[in-house]
Structure 1
Amino acid sequence: MTTKFYDRLSNDLTQLLENPIDYNVTIEVGEAPVSQIFEVHSYILQSRSPYFKKKFNESPFNENHVKELKIPNISVKVFNFIIKYIYGGTITLEKLENSIIFDLLMASHELDLDELVEHLQTHFVTNNASWLRLNFSHIYQTSYQVKNFKIIQNFCDNIIAKHPNTIFESGDFNSLPEYILISIIRLDDLQLEEYKIWDYVIQWGKAKNSNLPANLNEWTSDNFLTLKTTLKNCLPHIRYFNFSGEQVVNKLYPYQQLFEPKLLLDINTKFLAPNNPISATILPPRNILNVTLPTRTNPIPSNIITDEHALEVSSWIDRKETPYTENNPYEFKLLVRGSKDGFDVKTIFEICDKVSKTVIVIKVEGTGEIIGGYNPLEIYNNISGNWYRSQDSFAFSLKTENLKNSIVSRVKYFANAIYYDSGRSYLQFGNTLNLRGNLKTGKNSLCRDYFKYEKQICSNEGEFSVEEFEVFKVSPHHIIHF
């Protein structure tokens, strides 16, 4: 039987890092003036990391018989965790912000610390899946750029397969690299009808060629050739033989100039003479599930908040002390999105006229804060400035990578709960959340606490503009929670 004294070994090597006697390498980490020099031992580092083994072989000793390295693209804070892991084999993540943990993951990949890369991916998927969803587009693209991020990549693929709108309806969809779009449309279990996949691929291709006419009837042969060239690597992954006859006519025929003549003939043959042989490769149909998914059955259609955020807002609506964790009792139906409908507050009045029980969510430009409010009252268009009474309205700030805990601020002065002025484009939750004019181009909105609501929800009282905003109608699902 072999006895292993790993704790003592880890402690002794960590002490050697803190008191680096006989060091023979210095590593300058970060950019001046916040860089820091670490004194370390080449044998330890190169035995733990192929990256350092290669670097040390390439670096000569100076006159003091010390090798000097520089790693400017890794922060001092991140490297402190890495070097302690290399020496002591331990790492503590509990008090770290998720953005720092992700930087740690990227740095671990760069330094060829495969064990740590696997551990950090597992940590995210197991303990911080909501953060991955909140930053989904960036995380997903990164997982495909970095070859050994397989755990996160599989996590993202599973989300996209089960909930394709996560990526197809995101604001970043049209900017996806081609190789990522192909990886998505190749998924056998992508839960989306084939003609809708076709529509998204066409949308992506058109976005890459902004000079194409908006009206398809105005397209020339050169326009179709441009789109065909853009989509040449995507088109082979569409499962054309799973279209219905009606879908072929309505979806494929308008773009028949994108097809090679033989493929178009085979598609026609499939529907006009299905017993005749065809030469094209017939891809299998998608594995569309016929059962209700156990989780995320109604993912919120938002580019700003996650399902976990929506559960928290729902618990505030119901005045629950403990947030819901699954089976949201409310449906969040998207009514307005700034990037789609326009950023002026008057758009809210026009689209949401006579609609009650709405939630507005806002991503603040520059800070990344997610703020908003719940309004149980009907919204009135074409009305001059008036305060309206409510006992149930509240404003909030949702947990992000920079905010440890969400904030809810309930109305205290019921008579001054909600303020409407469609003429001046004002919509206010007391003065805790004051939305004015064009939320994106005009820096006129602000968050202040003048005692009408319980507390301030923003990091400061200054005026701000928004990166995106959305308004949802909240309706009961009639799900019972115990």
Structure 2
Amino acid sequence: MTTKFYDRLSNDLTQLLENPINHNVTIEVGEAPINQIFKVHSYILQSRSPYFKKKFDETPFNENHVKELKMSNISSNLFNVIIKYIYGGTISFEKLEISIIFDLLIASLELDLDELVEYLQTHLVTNNASWLKLKFAQVLQTSYNKNFKIIQNFCNNIISKHPNIIFESDNFNSLPEDVLISVIELDDLQLEEDKIWDYVIQWGRAKNPTFPTNINEWTSDNFLTLKTTLKNCFPHIRYFNISSEQIVEKFYPYQQLFEPKLCSTLPTRTIRIPSNIISNIISNEHALEISSWIDRKETPYTENNPYEFKLLVRGSRDGFDIKTMYEICDKVSNTVIVLKVEDTREIIGGYNPLEIYNNSDGDWYDSKDSFVFSLKTENLKNSIISRVKNFNTAIYYDSDPTVECLDFGDALNLRYNLKTQKSSYCGTNHYEKPIRSNDDRFSVEEFEVFEILPKK
């Protein structure tokens, strides 16, 4: 039987760090004027870190028989944590912000501290998942660039269930190729294959901003360039999952991109898209968020939505006229309207608990429960909800063709044809706060109206 006295060993080595007798290395950390010099022992550092072993082998002794290193890319605060770990095998997170812990993870990888790299990843995923989601784009890109497997798996699990968090993020078009490929190769990515194709094409076109906007104006060189841009992405698309109608609609314009052999040997994706939300705009996670607001929940729903979102109107299917919405939704209550704004890709909308009236005379209607909102895809915590404050001017209906509007106070004002006429806008009156940063007029890419029904 072997007895191990690790606590005493750790304490003695930590004391040696604090009183560096016979040190033979100095490490200058950080940039002046806040740089700091650490006196350390090469035999300890090189036995704990391959990085330092290599550095010491490359660095000669000076006239005082001391090796001098400079590390300007790491702060003295971070290095102080790392050097205590190297000497004593201890680390404390009590006074460290989460962002510092993440920086510590990056520094630990660069210093080849494998044990600490694994521990820090596990700590972040277990104890700071909400922060990782808050900084999702940064965390995702860093995790692939730095090869953090545990955090990669954490990110992949989120993307698989909520693909809009990456595909609809503001940073999507700037994703590195290896990150995009890692996403589209996921076997359980909860996104239809034709939409994956659309996003891949969008990413490829963003990499070639000089191409004509109209694909009919493209030259053979344009197609060849895009083919080169996307050559590593194409093998990860499951073409056999796309219907013949979609093949004609979405692939035919890009037929010059393909070789004769289009088939893929990849497995079919395990798609489990929730049946309670069928939308071109919002995700199931967005629907849970809206349902939480309807029920005034302090803790939002994360699963098991109590409501069914029954699609009544879709602009691309039924037309974009407000008049059409009135005709289809007349006498329907408890509705949510969602809109994707042209160019900015903002997702905004409102909840209306009242019956919709196909009223050509125009009138205000009272509500205490209506609200408007702005939904975020990359970070749901940044979504905005604005509840009605002037109850007697909550909702305004007018289906007269000369007026043709639906208003939530002055907070969300929808006018005429939502797609062809840039007449809709968001104001600041009658509801708690604005849902857009400006009152510019806008048109929409798509809009949908859902009836909200309790699940049976």
| TM value normalised by structure 2 | 0.69
Q: 1:83 to 1:228 in 2, by over 3 A?
A: same
1:139-154 counterparts in 2 under 5 A? 139-147=139-147, 149-154=148-153
1:106 is displaced (CA, Å) by 0.4
Q: 1:314 to 1:12 in 2, by over 3 A?
A: farther
Instruction: Tell me the alpha carbon deviations over residues 413-434 of structure 1, each in whole angstroms, 9 at most, x when there is no partner.
Output: xxxxx9969899752799x967
Corresponding residue of 2:239: 240
1:12-51 counterparts in 2 under 5 A? 12-51=12-51
Q: 1:359 to 1:474 in 2, by over 3 A?
A: farther
Q: Tell me, yes or no, if structure 1 residue 65 matches structure 2 residue 61.
A: no
Residue 266 of structure 2 is aligned with which of 272, 277, 284?
284
1:179 is displaced (CA, Å) by 2.1
CA distance in 1 between partners of 2:158 and 2:110 (Å)? 27
CA distance in 2 between partners of 1:342 and 1:421 (Å)? 16
Corresponding residue of 1:133: 133
Instruction: Tell me the alpha carbon deviations over residues 64-100 of structure 1, each in whole angstroms, 9 at most, x when there is no partner.
Output: 2222111111111111111111111111224422211
1:381-400 counterparts in 2 under 5 A? none
Residue 374 of structure 1 is aligned with which of 386, 394, 402?
386
Corresponding residue of 1:171: 170
Q: Tell me, yes or no, if structure 1 residue 213 matches structure 2 residue 212.
A: yes
Q: Give 3-state SS (helix, strand or coil) of 1:26's partner.
A: strand
Residues 311-320 or 115-124, more deviating? 311-320
Structure 1 unmatched runs, 5+: 268-280, 364-368, 383-417, 441-471
Q: 1:47 to 1:210 in 2, by over 3 A?
A: same
The one-letter code matched in structure 2 to 1:117 is V
CA distance in 2 between partners of 1:159 and 1:138 (Å)? 14
CA distance in 2 between partners of 1:62 and 1:101 (Å)? 35
Q: 1:322 to 1:34 in 2, by over 3 A?
A: same
1:105 is displaced (CA, Å) by 0.2
1:475 is displaced (CA, Å) by 9.4
1:261-410 counterparts in 2 under 5 A? 262-263=260-261, 282-290=264-272, 327=304, 335=338, 340-341=343-344, 356-360=370-374, 372-376=384-388, 378=394
Instruction: Tell me the alpha carbon deviations over residues 311-351 of structure 1, each in whole angstroms, 9 at most, x when there is no partner.
Output: 899878867677767656689979467894489xxx97xx7
Is the CA contact 1:424–1:437 (under 8 Å) kept in the aligned structure 2? no
CA distance in 1 between partners of 2:287 and 2:249 (Å)? 37
Aligned length in residues: 380
The one-letter code matched in structure 1 to 2:120 is L
1:234 is displaced (CA, Å) by 1.9
Is the CA contact 1:162–1:191 (under 8 Å) kept in the aligned structure 2? yes
Is the CA contact 2:372–2:411 (under 8 Å) kept in the aligned structure 1? no
Q: Give 3-state SS (helix, strand or coil) of 2:26's partner.
A: strand
Superposed CA RMSD in Å reads 4.4
Corresponding residue of 1:427: 428
Q: 1:167 to 1:73 in 2, by over 3 A?
A: same
1:132 is displaced (CA, Å) by 1.7
Q: 1:218 to 1:53 in 2, by over 3 A?
A: same
CA distance in 1 between partners of 2:141 and 2:174 (Å)? 11
The one-letter code matched in structure 1 to 2:73 is N
Q: Give 3-state SS (helix, strand or coil) of 2:226's partner.
A: helix
The one-letter code matched in structure 1 to 2:371 is K
1:212 is displaced (CA, Å) by 2.0
CA distance in 2 between partners of 1:334 and 1:137 (Å)? 28
Corresponding residue of 1:123: 123
CA distance in 2 between partners of 1:252 and 1:421 (Å)? 37
The one-letter code matched in structure 1 to 2:182 is S
1:229 is displaced (CA, Å) by 2.4
Q: Give 3-state SS (helix, strand or coil) of 1:427's partner.
A: coil
The one-letter code matched in structure 2 to 1:284 is L
Is the CA contact 1:359–1:473 (under 8 Å) kept in the aligned structure 2? no
Instruction: Tell me the alpha carbon deviations over residues 369-399 of structure 1, each in whole angstroms, 9 at most, x when there is no partner.
Output: 95855314637799xxxxxxxxxxxxxxxxx
CA distance in 1 between partners of 2:195 and 2:89 (Å)? 49
Residues 223-232 or 169-178, more deviating? 223-232
The one-letter code matched in structure 2 to 1:119 is Y
Q: Give 3-state SS (helix, strand or coil) of 1:38's partner.
A: strand
1:183 is displaced (CA, Å) by 2.3
Q: 1:160 to 1:74 in 2, by over 3 A?
A: same
CA distance in 1 between partners of 2:412 and 2:158 (Å)? 41
Instruction: Tell me the alpha carbon deviations over residues 83-140 of structure 1, each in whole angstroms, 9 at most, x when there is no partner.
Output: 1111111112244222111100000011110000000111122222222222222212
Is the CA contact 1:358–1:374 (under 8 Å) kept in the aligned structure 2? yes
Q: 1:259 to 1:76 in 2, by over 3 A?
A: same
Is the CA contact 1:50–1:111 (under 8 Å) kept in the aligned structure 2? yes
